[in-house]
Structure 1
């Protein structure tokens, strides 16, 4: 099995995936229907994140589709900073790269 990467970084090292605020989730299933990456599944208490690392890095489309605003993601600034550090760790940055 081939390791999945994003820009040369192992996907499992990138902390980008949705969090569902269960107190806001109305069990409508909009996120399950919207996401073609199979990140979500229907659960007894509403939608659940089943495959977090299937989430496309930087995508927040499901959060926009959620009528109850029950889906949150890390900030894009935090993502950018984390990716910069991971690129350094993985030897993907050269002098002057950001």
Structure 2
């Protein structure tokens, strides 16, 4: 069964930004071509505005962050969620 048979909104794979660590260099906003991040002028930091635009398994933005302010769930956690969702789809 392909991943595309599971609605993207059910897969909790998206970044979180640690505001205490973020230096506001905007690299994540500029780097992500899927529009996951937007710049919040009021808080002067990136915010995850479109979490489900994030490609499941992609963590490239975390890799380019110079201060490791971007986190993702563990891959094992996501595998477990996907496995459970696949079982639900096939049981229908």
- Normalising by structure 1, report the TM-score: 0.84
Partners of 1:56 and 1:72 lie apart in 2 by 14
Q: Please state which structure has a larger fraction of its residues in helix.
A: 2
1:33 aligns with 2:16: no
Structure 1 outlier segments of 4+, above 3 Å: none
- Normalising by structure 2, report the TM-score: 0.90
Aligned length: 87
Determine helix, strand or coil for the equivalent of 1:81. helix
Gaps in structure 1 of 5+ consecutive residues: 1-5, 93-98
Determine helix, strand or coil for the equivalent of 2:87. helix
How far the C-alpha of 1:7 sits from its partner, in A, is 2.3
Gaps in structure 2 of 5+ consecutive residues: none
Determine helix, strand or coil for the equivalent of 1:7. helix
